[in-house]
Amino acid sequence: MRITVQAANTVFLYKGGIVSYVDYLNRNKTVIIKNPVYFSVAKDDIEVEVAIQYNDSFAETTLSFANNINTHEGGDPSDRFSQCADQDD
């Protein structure tokens, strides 16, 4: 007996990169600023991209990815970004 299981693949492609992805995530929300704030930094072998867009909801949604893998449990990069963003300096 042979059973063949075909894995389902879902490919997300946003031509505008993470800025377009953030627009997509907020598509049904009232945004506070029209265009997401975006910046990227590269140093040595590390590249970081950040896109932020505020909306009128009370719930915070922070998504982080490492090597195109969703780090849904947070972890060091997400925690450190939140710590920096929360500073009052």
- The answer to whether position 73 is within a domain reads yes
Residue-wise pLDDT tens digits, 22-81:
999 899 999 999 999 998 989 898 888 888 899 998 887 777 776 666 665 655 655 555
- The answer to whether position 14 is within a domain reads no
Provide the H-helix boundaries in the chain.
18-25, 76-85
User: How far apart, in whole angstroms, are the C-alpha atoms of residue 45 and residue 30?
Assistant: 37
- The answer to whether position 24 is within a domain reads no
Number of domains the chain contains: 1
- The predicted pLDDT at position 85 comes to 58
- The answer to whether position 80 is within a domain reads yes
Residue 33 CB partners (closer than 8 Å, separation 6+): 53, 54
Other C-beta atoms within 10 Å of 39: how many? 9
pTM: 0.64
Tell me which residue range forms the domain holding 46.
30-85
User: How far apart, in whole angstroms, are the C-alpha atoms of residue 13 and residue 10?
Assistant: 10
- The answer to whether position 55 is within a domain reads yes
